[in-house]
Every structure is written in C-alpha cells, then in structure tokens.
Amino acid sequence: MLLEIKNLQAGIEGIKILKGLNLKVEKGEVHAIMGPNGSGKSTLAKVIAGHPGYEVFEGEILYEGKNLLEMEPDERAREGIFMAFQYPIEIPGVSNSQFLRIAYNEKMKHLGLEELDPIEFNDLLKEKAKLVEMGSDFLKRSVNEGFSGGEKKRNEILQMAVLEPKLAILDETDSGLDIDALRIVANGVNSLRSKENAIILVTHYQRLLNYIEPDYVHVLADGRIVKSGNKELALKLEEKGYDWIKEAA
Amino acid sequence: MTKALEILANREYKYGFVTQIETETIPKGLNEETIKLISKKKDEPEWMLEFRLKAYRQWLKMKEPRWGNFEYPKIDFQDITYYAAPKKKPKKNSLEEVDPELLRTFEKLGIPLSEQKMLANVAVDAVFDSVSVATTFKEKLKKIGVIFMPISEAIREYPDLVREYLGSVVPINDNFYAALNSAVFSDGSFVYVPKGVRCPMELSTYFRINTQESGQFERTLIIAEEGAYVAYNEGCTAPQFDTNQLHAAVVELIALDNAEIKYSTVQNWYAGDENGVGGIYNFVTKRGACRGKNSKISWTQVETGSAITWKYPSVILQGDNSIGEFYSVALTNNKQVADTGTKMIHIGKNTRSTIVSKGIAAGYSNNSYRGLVKILPKAENARNYTQCDSMLIGDKCRANTFPYIEVMNNTAKVEHEATTSRISEEQLFYLQQRGIKQEDAVSLIINGFCKEVFRELPMEYAVEAQKLLGLKLEGSVG
Amino acid sequence: MITQVKKQNLYEELFQKSFSQSTQPAWLKDLRLKAFEYFSQNGFPTPEDEEWKYTNTAPITREQFSLSVEKKPSTQLENLIYKETQRSYLVFFNGQFIRELSNLEAASNIEIFSFSEALKTNNEILEEKLTKQVQYQRNGFTALNTAFIENGLFLHIPENQKVSVPIQILFVSTENVIATPRILILVAKGAEATLIESYLRSEQARYFTNAVIEISLEDRATLKHHRIQRESHNAFHITTTDVEIGEESIYDSTNITLGAKWSRHEISAKFTKEKAEVFVDGLYLTSGEQFADTHSVIDHLHPNCKSRQNYKGIVDGKSRVVFNGKIFVREGAKGTDAHQSNKNLLLSSNARIDTKPQLEIFNDDVQCSHGATVGQLEEEEIFYLMSRGLPASLAKNLLTYGFAEEIINKIELESVKATLDEALLNRLSVRL
C-alpha cells in the first residue's frame, strides 16, 4: 500500500474541513478527487503535502507504511511526495534550473545516490523540459516570476518530471488553462505515469479526466468521500452536477 | 518566520579568535605627541606629519556626528590605542621572516600568504592591527609597473605620488571620522596602475583587528591612470570582545580618462553578541572620483558584520561619460545597526549611475538605506537608476529607506524604486515541498534576493559572501 | 540678530493687539500665550532641521505683515464659488470665518459653528483637538497659527449623514495681511461628505496664509477632500493638514498646487484604528520663481490599513519644488498595504527638484513600496504624436497635459475640473 488515509479530520484555523476521510492508493493507480467548491479537495492535497497552515485533528496517514504526519514537508518530498500547486509561488532571483538542481540533489543525497553537477543536470533538465514544451529561456528565468498562468502550471509538471515522485498530487492543475496548455500538461503527466507511481488528481471539472484517464473517481462532499467509482462516475457528474450526489448522499 | 530567524540567529562568528602574539602598542590617548609618535614610528617625511597635524587640528574643532537613524554611546577618544603592531618587525620582502603565528592567523582566516599556498592570481596585502605584515606578488606586479604596497611604504618610496593624491578626494576636514583618520591612520594599501595597464590579477587587502583596545584607522589610496584597470577587494574580521572597537577607515579612488576601478568589500567585523554587547563601530568614508572622461568606478559591498555600520561609498562623476555603480547587501541581525548607501554626484555630461541596494533585517536590528543622487546644472543627460529592496525577517526589526534626489538639470533622468518584502510561509513551504530543508530554503530565498549584487563580486568573494549569509549553495552564483 | 528681534517685535505687536481683545476661555488664552512664547523663542524652522532641509523660510522672515482691518471683502465673491457649491459654501476672509458671507442652504444636515459659538456649545471637543491634534510645538508656523486663533470654524457632519452636495470652503485675503485660518472637521460615524478647500485670489496681492486644518473621521466615515491652492503669485502660503482616520473609514484627498510665490503643504494622515484607507494624491504645477513644497506623512499604527500616495509635478521656469513623502509602518501594524509614487517632469533648465521618498518599516507583514522619478517626456511618445502631424512643441505640451490629467481627473466635480483644466492648458499654451 502506497498511501492509506484513515478517518482524516483536518482543517485550518480551528475549522474542521475534512470530517473523516478514508482513502487507499496503490502504486500504478490514478485517483481523481472531485467535488464542489469548499468540499475539502485542496485541504486534502495540502494535508498530504504537510502545509504548516493546516491542522490534523484526528486520523492518520500512512505512506509506505510510515506515519506521514510526523514528517516535515521537505522530508515528505524527499520520500517521493509531490504536490503541484494550484497557485505556484514566485521566488525572485532564483532561477528555475538552479532551484530544480538543488531540489534534485537533495533527493539524490537522501537516497544515497550521486548528485549531479550543473552541466550534467542541465542535460537532464533539457530532456525533461521537452516533455512540457518549455524552452531553455524558461529554465534561466526566476522561479515562476512573470510566468503566465499556463506557464506556471507547465513548470509544476516539469518539476514533477525532474523529481520523479512516487505519489503526485495535482491540485486543480487544470484550472485556468486553455485547451493547448491543458493538452501539454496532460501529456506531460501521462508520460510520467507508470506502474511504480501513483497520481491523485484534484479537480473540479471532468475536462481534465478526458486527457488523464483515472482508475478511480471519488466524490468529496462536506469533508468526506461520499461516492467512489470508475471514470463513468465523472461523466455522470458532468451531466447531472454535484447536487445529484449531495441528494443521493 | 521564527524559524528563519533562528536559522540566521544561530550563525556562528567563526573569526572571533584572538591571536596570541606580542604586540607593541603606544599608550592610549590622542594628542599632538601621539601623532608625532605614530609618524616617527613609520619613519615618515615631514610633509606627512604636517598633513596629520593639520587634520588633527581640524578634528579638534569638529563635532561627533549624531544624525544617523540610531543611537550610539559617546566614544571616549582618549581611551583608544592609536597604534598597535606585532612586535617582530616583519621585513615584507621575505615571507620567511614574518612571524609564523601571523601566517597561521591569516591562514585560519582563509588567507594563505606563504609562497606555496598563495591564492593564484590574487595579490594580497595583509594588515594586522596597525601594520601591513605581508604583501604577496609585489615583485611580479612591479614588473608591469603596478605598485601594490602598504601605504606606509609608499609614503617613503613614492612620496610625490602619494602627496599629489592623498586627501584629494576626501579632504582632511570632510567629516569628523575622516579628519580623525587623516590624523592617525596607521596603514592600508596603496595601488597605482600606470597608463594603459590592465592589472592582470585581483588585488586584495585583508584587514584584521586583533588588539582589544586598539582602533583601526586604515587608509587606502588607489590611482588608475589613463586607460588602466584594476579590481581590488577587501575583507575584514575581528576577534570577539565585549567592548566596542572603532574602525574609521578612509578610502580614496581616482580614475583618470578611460580608467576603471572595481572595488569590492566583504565586511564581517565582529558584530557583538545577541544582546548587542561588543562589536565594531564601522564608521568609514569611501569615495571615488571619476576625474577622467569615460572613467568608471564600481563599489560592491557585502556588509554582514559590525555592531554599527555607517558608510556611504560614493562616486563623484566629474569626467564626461563617466560611470558610477554601487551594489550593496547589508544583513543585520540581533541588535546590529547598518546605515549605509551611497552618493552619486553628477557633474560631467552624459554621466551615468546605478544603485542596487538589498537590505535584510532580522532580530532587533535596524537596517537603513540612505543615499543621495545629485544632478548638478551642467550634467547634461545624466542618468540614474536606483533600486532599494528591503527584506524583513521577524516583526521586531526595522527597515528604512531614505533616498535624497536633487535634480538641477532638466535633461536628467532619475528613477528610484524601493520595495519591502519578507520571506513568506508560502515560499518556504513551496521550497520544502520540493524537498529542500527549511534552512536551505531560507538561504535560497535570501540568495535570490541578493543575486544582483553577488554577481558583481569576484568569484571567491561571492562564495565567501554566501557563506556569510549562512548559505550553502556552492556554485550557484553566476 | 537685530533684525531678528525686530521681526519678533512685529508679531509681538500683532499678537498683543489680537490677544488683548480676546474674551476666550482661560484654556484657549493659555494655549495661545504658550504658542506665542514658543514662536518667540524658536522663530520659523531653518534648513538645519531635517524636515526643512530644502525649504528656506528666510523669504517669509524678511516680510512684514499686519492683521486685517477690513471685515468684509470689497469685491464680489460670486465668481469664486464653484457651480456645484452655489448653495453650500463657507467663507474665510483674511483668516477669519465669516458666517454672514457663507451659504449652507443646500447642506442643511451639517452643523457649522464659528469658534466663538463652538466655545459655548462644544468647548470640550475644541479643547481636545486644538491642544492635542496639531500641537503648536510642531514648528514655528503651527505655533504662530495657534497664537492667533480667533474665529475659526468647527464643521461637524453628524452620524450617518450623507451630505449630497459638495461643500466649498473659500479663503480670500487682502494685501499685506497675515491670515491664520484654523478649521476643525469632525466626520461622525457612518457620515459621508465632499469638501473643496480653495484658496483663490485673482489679483497679485502680497499676503501670508498660515492655515491649520484638523480632521477626524470616526468609524465607517468617508471624506473626499479636494484642496485647490491658487493663491496670488505674490503670496506666501503654508497649510498644515492633520487627519485621524477611524475603523473602516476612507479619507481620499487630492491636492492641487498652482499658486503662491512660496508655499508648503504638510499633510499627515494617521490611522487610529484598523481596516481604513487613505489616498493622498497631488499635483504641483510651478513656473516663474515659485517655490512649492509638499510634505506628506502616512502613519500606519494599526493593522490591515491601506494607503496610496500619488504625487505628480510639472516644474518649469526658475521654480523649485520639494517633495517629501513618508510611510511609517509601526510595530504591530500587520497586513499594511502602502504605496507611494512621485513623478516629476522638469521642463526648464533652470528649474530644480529635490525629492525624498521615505519608508520606515517596523513590521515584516507588509506590502510597501515607493518610487520616484525625475525626467522628461518619453521620446517614443513625442515621436508618435509627431508622426500624426503634431508639431513637436504641441506634442510635448499635450503629453504634459496628459501627465497631469491623471490627478485632475480624480476630482469628480465638473466645474472644479474645468477651471483646473483651463489653468493647466493656459500654462502649457495648448488649445484642445
């Protein structure tokens, strides 16, 4: 079992948003978490990644059998958890390639593998950048600074490609993307998909699932998973809206 | 943010050791006799003594300045030792005769002086308390006409050169501390680059205060003749004492037609402890004169040490088309104070200046940028661009920006921008989420913030500067 | 030194004359006396004072003024009243509030009192504000104003009153006079009003206006404040404006400086509670040998307040301009959002500008910035207009006009805007 969430109750500033969430994710699987605004989708993503603003009141998260909640956010990342941010952060003055090399080498160090020097790393990075159709000028620019919405999201996927996570959580990665950018992002994700890793797609719309086909679809409402199914469920949601689930639940 | 603060606060001052060496000092206190004694010890010509005495008499009439945005206790100028030197008098031309203890001290500071270990392609003048103890590559430089030697020697060996330029950029009565320095300066570096010569190696002076009660008053004079180029670096450290020491240096730069001087400083004097006890008062006057047309003077400074830093490396842009630059990083922590910036005085036509200042305030510190851009009536088409950014870490520190802009010519273009930011929780989390440890994340963000300044530093100094800011990012500059 | 003593004797005589006739309560007489003592000892500020570094007060020190003997202006005021304020204006003549010349028909929901009335009905508020808000010790000018407090104006916008018409306060002075108007404005909870403070004088009289205006906004109040300074070109002018802003209140001011031979406007806005907003914008347009100084201070003492300062200047002839804008963010003022901009066009080779934007930040949870520029019009823009057939001089004047319009356009009152536009176009010799 890669990830197991048991009775997770969590929130922000004392307000409970997740109210007893359960989820199991195995390697090789793609899970879509859908749900209306305010249902707790982004909270789930941030709690898994360990955002310091979020509190866990009850429940546990096991990652490869280890207690995830005891780990610092950077430890989680080095252990293979990656979150693509809904609103990627700008880091002025730090170039994309510099930043990625540091992150990459931290991971290598952690795994006891050899770190790459700037020249070696550049070759790797150029290869990965092709995946999301990013030019080398992007790699020289400061992290996310002055990037358009689409460029920021592509940059998130590039980071995912470089860091090769075991568990990737994409938090509303499709939001604000035009159709071309969505295609590029989805292609990137699909090519990174393997038997060795798992992906959690957090999304409001079914649209993304046309490009990245999930194995499971979960509907989150009021802090709990109220319905799970296969991709057909997403289509049904698209057609009938979230009210249908709420009524059924 | 407390985390980022802790990381910064816990940086250790690695240079706080004291070298056990026999020192020759003169009694504390300042009067005309003291000055005569210093001059005599240095075997100076009569005109030099006159210069000192004139400065001293001016100084007596001046008042200690109090206009900075901070308080400091009254300094008892009679309680300072104005001359301290290692007892064995080193003969500068052969390093073997330098006290091995001194060589070890500089090596410990990362400045190897012995022939085998010398930094390749960097000539170093090492100043210990009041005297220069060794100068490397002196002979090699002499062959191409570059003079690089302690100023005390230059006064004896090249009196005409020194006499012509000394005090010509910073007059003896320029300010209280410049007058004091002119009266009592002990040593420092002298650089002369003749017409058309590009100095093939970087010149470095490393200043070390060792004696507890001594002040350091070094004097540096750099002259770049027509078409000459020189890059000069200085580094500074001092042991940890719980008393304050005064460092009042004067640096004068002169660039003639088409000449360029690049001056870099990494200042890491002891800053005092977390309660503000001890540390250096760094009250320095640095000024360059772009006398010739198309000349260029560039100041780069990384100021992380000292209890109080009070300095404004300036450029007087006299020659037409001359260029002045000022790049600065000032990091203050605990109870440190930095009030630093620059003056760009545009006199000639088509003169240009650039100011980039990055202030980082943490703890209870007080970090101010203070600068003057002055465009005089005849400075047709003068240009200035100023960017001042402050970063605050914690909610007990202060960051201030005091720019003065005076424009008397309507063809001038002057732009000033200033911003204030902090390391946000979100930025830290984002970096951590990518697997970067929190302390490295803090360093990375600060490094990014300072990048425009670091890239102006020579390689070794950039690495040094990053280390000083608690950064562990080898090779990420450039 | 002898001349210095003479000058003080001049004010001494004026002061004794004014003070001896006073029937004011003891606290006010005491305040006036102390203020005059302060002035006698300190005089006007000198350039040694950092706040007056670029401002030479010597031209005023050299002048002699007298107190007004006339009680009413000889000329008609009608053409000085804006169309929008025909039935809502208040008049100060030679520094004193004259109720008989004022008209408040259209703004019956506000309360106005001359100081002599207010000392009976609102003595406590008056004492509180006059002694504590702008203190006489601030400088020689505020001291002198306080020493000469006679018939000021207390303007009260009662709770939740929305004043639908703008109110104009008109200041008129005659030759040789020192006018020291003093105004207290209290905008009570939830109240809203628009104020036009106008110093107008078409003739070339020589006089000295030294005004102090104290404004308080209680919670959820809004005040739009337009200040139009078009004093005579021989006049000396200084106004000290001090504003205190309560919770969720908005103070929005636009300050236009066109007139006076020598002028200074000091405006400080202080947040007294959270979540309030301040806009202090201005335009100065100087020529000839004018001297115009603006000192603006925004003090963030409380969390989550927002401030904007946007000053623009067009400096021509041999005129000199000083701008000093400060932002203070105090310890504890979290969530502060403060920005300041000062842009200047220098049109003549004899003009001079000294600008000093300042930030003093004591808190890390802030968004603060400032910018200042001194320069000329963009070559590209001039070229663009010329390529459409405009002569170079017209192109430049038109662009200069556009530069100033950003500020003038903030004034939503058509007739005020129209007169400013006209003045601007005349100055630039542009016909649109």
Give the C-alpha separation, A53 to C117, whole Å: 58
pLDDT higher at C223 or C80:
C223
CA distances from A22 to A64, A199, B345, C96 (A): 16, 16, 69, 77
Over the Cα atoms of chain B, what is R_g? 21
- What part of B 49-68 touches C (C-beta under 8 Å)? 67
pLDDT band at B478 (very low <50, low <70, confident <90, very high): very low
Q: Which of A73, A110, A117 sits opposite B433 (nearest CB)?
A: A73
What pLDDT, on the 0 to 100 scale, is given for residue C237? 97
Q: Which residue has the tokens 């240096």?
A: B249
Q: How far is A116 from chain B (nearest CA, A)?
A: 12
What pLDDT, on the 0 to 100 scale, is given for residue C6? 47
What pLDDT, on the 0 to 100 scale, is given for residue B114? 65
Average pLDDT rounded to a whole number, residues C256-283? 96
Tens of pLDDT along B130-161?
667 677 777 888 889 999 988 988 999 999 99
Give the C-alpha separation, B298 to B353, whole Å: 9
pLDDT band at C8 (very low <50, low <70, confident <90, very high): low
Quick check: C222 pLDDT over 70?
A: yes
Q: What HEC string does chain C produce?
A: CHHHHHHHHHHHHHHHHHHHCCCCCHHHHHHHHHHHHHHHHHCCCCCCCHHHCCCCCHHHHHCCCECCCCCCCCCCCHHHCCHHHCCCEEEEECCEECHHHCECCCCCCCEEEEHHHHHHHCHHHHHHHHHHCCCHHHCHHHHHHHHCCCCCEEEEECCCCECCCCEEEEEECCCCEEECCEEEEEECCCCEEEEEEEEECCCCCCCEEEEEEEEEECCCCEEEEEEEEECCCCCEEEEEEEEEECCCCEEEEEEEECCCCEEEEEEEEEECCCCCEEEEEEEEEECCCCEEEEEEEEEECCCCCEEEEEEEEEECCCCEEEEEEEEEECCCCCCEEEEEEEEEEECCCCCEEEEEEEEEECCCCEEEEEEEEEECCCHHHHHHHHHCCCCHHHHHHHHHHHHHHHHHCCCCCHHHHHHHHHHHHHHHCCCC
**Which of B1, B327, B430 has the highest number of chain A CBs within 10 A, making it the mutation to test binding with A?**
B430
What pLDDT, on the 0 to 100 scale, is given for residue B95? 59
Residue B16 has which token pair? 């706080």
Percent of chain B past pLDDT 70, that is, above it, reads 86
Q: Which of B393, B400, B413 sits opposite C361 (nearest CB)?
A: B400
What pLDDT, on the 0 to 100 scale, is given for residue B472? 35
What pLDDT, on the 0 to 100 scale, is given for residue B99? 73
Average pLDDT rounded to a whole number, residues B441-460? 85
Task: Test B448 with A106 for CB contact under 8 angstroms.
Answer: no
pLDDT higher at C210 or B459:
C210
What pLDDT, on the 0 to 100 scale, is given for residue C5? 46
Residue B89 has which token pair? 């008098």
Average pLDDT rounded to a whole number, residues C394-418? 86
Residue type at position B324: G
Whether ipTM > 0.95 holds is no
Residue A147 has which token pair? 């990037």
Neighbours of A19 (CB within 10 A): 17
Average pLDDT rounded to a whole number, residues A48-76? 91
Quick check: C1 pLDDT over 60?
A: no
Query: Is B426 at the interface with chain C, CB within 8 A?
Result: no
Residue C71 has which token pair? 């009680």
**Which of A87, A95, A102 has the highest number of chain B CBs within 10 A, making it the mutation to test binding with B?**
A102
Give the C-alpha separation, B53 to A220, whole Å: 85
Task: Test A74 with B452 for CB contact under 8 angstroms.
Answer: no
Q: What angle do CA B316, B318, B324 make, to 5 degrees?
A: 50
Task: Test B431 with A53 for CB contact under 8 angstroms.
Answer: no
pLDDT band at B6 (very low <50, low <70, confident <90, very high): low
Closest by CA position to C39, among listed C58, C2, C11, C67: C11
Task: Test B432 with A72 for CB contact under 8 angstroms.
Answer: yes
B194 touches B227 (CB < 8 A): no
Average pLDDT rounded to a whole number, residues C276-293? 96
What pLDDT, on the 0 to 100 scale, is given for residue B26? 82
What pLDDT, on the 0 to 100 scale, is given for residue B137? 77
Average pLDDT rounded to a whole number, residues A33-59? 90
What pLDDT, on the 0 to 100 scale, is given for residue B471? 46
Question: Three-state SS for B158?
Answer: coil
- What part of B 392-451 touches A (C-beta under 8 Å)? 424-427, 429-438, 440-441, 444-445, 447-451
Tens of pLDDT along B167-202?
999 999 999 999 999 999 988 889 999 999 999 888
pLDDT band at B475 (very low <50, low <70, confident <90, very high): very low
pLDDT higher at C122 or B3:
C122
Tens of pLDDT along A139-163?
888 888 888 888 999 999 999 999 9
Using CA atoms in the order C93, C97, C98, C99, what is the torsion angle rounded to 10 degrees? 150
Strands A3-12 and A54-63: antiparallel
Closest by CA position to A128, among listed A97, A161, A99, A170: A161
Quick check: C284 pLDDT over 60?
A: yes
Q: How far is A206 from chain B (nearest CA, A)?
A: 27
Tens of pLDDT along B22-52?
777 888 888 999 999 999 988 899 999 999 9
pLDDT band at C384 (very low <50, low <70, confident <90, very high): low
What pLDDT, on the 0 to 100 scale, is given for residue B438? 83
Q: What angle do CA B299, B305, B309 make, to 5 degrees?
A: 65
Tens of pLDDT along B219-270?
999 999 999 999 998 887 666 767 778 889 999 999 999 999 999 988 888 8
Neighbours of C308 (CB within 10 A): 16
Chain C neighbours (≥3 Cβ pairs under 8 A) are B
What pLDDT, on the 0 to 100 scale, is given for residue C2? 41
Using CA atoms in the order B263, B266, B270, B271, what is the torsion angle rounded to 10 degrees? 100
What pLDDT, on the 0 to 100 scale, is given for residue B202? 84
Q: Which of B435, B448, B476 sits opposite A77 (nearest CB)?
A: B435
Average pLDDT rounded to a whole number, residues C202-216? 91
pLDDT band at B466 (very low <50, low <70, confident <90, very high): confident
Provide the terminal-to-terminal Cα distance of chain C, rounded to the nearest Å. 54
pTM of the model: 0.83
A135 touches A97 (CB < 8 A): no
C115 touches C152 (CB < 8 A): yes
Query: Is C376 at the interface with chain B, CB within 8 A?
Result: yes
List of E strands, chain A: 3-12, 15-25, 30-34, 54-63, 66-67, 81-84, 91-95, 142-143, 167-171, 198-203, 216-221, 224-229
Q: Which residue has the tokens 């702008």?
A: C134
Task: Test A73 with B425 for CB contact under 8 angstroms.
Answer: no
Give the C-alpha separation, C23 to C332, whole Å: 45
Provide the terminal-to-terminal Cα distance of chain A, rounded to the nearest Å. 28
Quick check: B12 pLDDT over 70?
A: no
pLDDT higher at A13 or B355:
B355
Dmax (CA) for chain A in angstroms is 58
Q: Which of B394, B406, B411 sits opposite C354 (nearest CB)?
A: B406
Give the C-alpha separation, B333 to B307, whole Å: 10
Quick check: B19 pLDDT over 60?
A: yes
Quick check: B476 pLDDT over 50?
A: no
Q: What are phi and psi of B321, to 5 degrees?
A: 60, 15
Residues 6+ apart with CB under 8 A from C246: C189, C216, C217, C218, C219, C220, C221, C272, C273, C276
Q: Which residue has the tokens 């930030």?
A: C359
Q: Which residue has the tokens 């901009």?
A: C341
Average pLDDT rounded to a whole number, residues C135-146? 96
Q: Which of C353, C364, C373 sits opposite B394 (nearest CB)?
A: C364
Dmax (CA) for chain B in angstroms is 68
Residue type at position B352: R
